[in-house]
């Protein structure tokens, strides 16, 4: 790669950064959508499903962590 080719890539990267900035400003100018005061039934169901999934993930992580520590302690003691 020649020096000129590398310089061209820098210009493209700088141009991409400049193109992204106005999009952020436009997003900041748009007002946020109002959130409903009372969650709908579908939202409550989804939240309950997410909570159940997170609880299941926590359980798996705790079990795997206990097994990992037990295996690590055994290897370290030998």
Residue corresponding to tokens 């210009």: 11
Q: Using only C-alpha atoms, what is the Rg of the chain?
A: 26
Given a cut of 60, whether residue 35 has pLDDT beyond it is: yes
Q: How confident is the model at residue 39 (pLDDT cuts 50, 70, 90)?
A: low
- Residue pLDDT, tens place only, 14-34: 555 555 555 555 555 666 776
CA distance 78 to 76: 6
pLDDT score at 36: 59
SS3 category, 43: helix
CA distance 72 to 40: 47
- The residue ranking higher by pLDDT, 8 or 53, is 53
CA distance 1 to 22: 32
- The residue ranking higher by pLDDT, 47 or 27, is 47
CB atoms within 10 A of CB 50: 10
């Amino acid at each position: 790669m020649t020096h000129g080719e590398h310089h061209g890539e820098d210009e493209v990267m700088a141009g991409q950064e400049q193109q992204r900035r106005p999009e952020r400003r436009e997003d900041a100018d748009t007002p946020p959508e109002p959130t409903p005061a009372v969650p709908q039934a579908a939202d409550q169901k989804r939240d309950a499903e997410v909570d159940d999934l997170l609880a299941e993930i926590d359980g798996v992580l705790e079990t795997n962590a206990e097994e990992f520590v037990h295996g690590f302690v055994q290897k370290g003691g030998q």
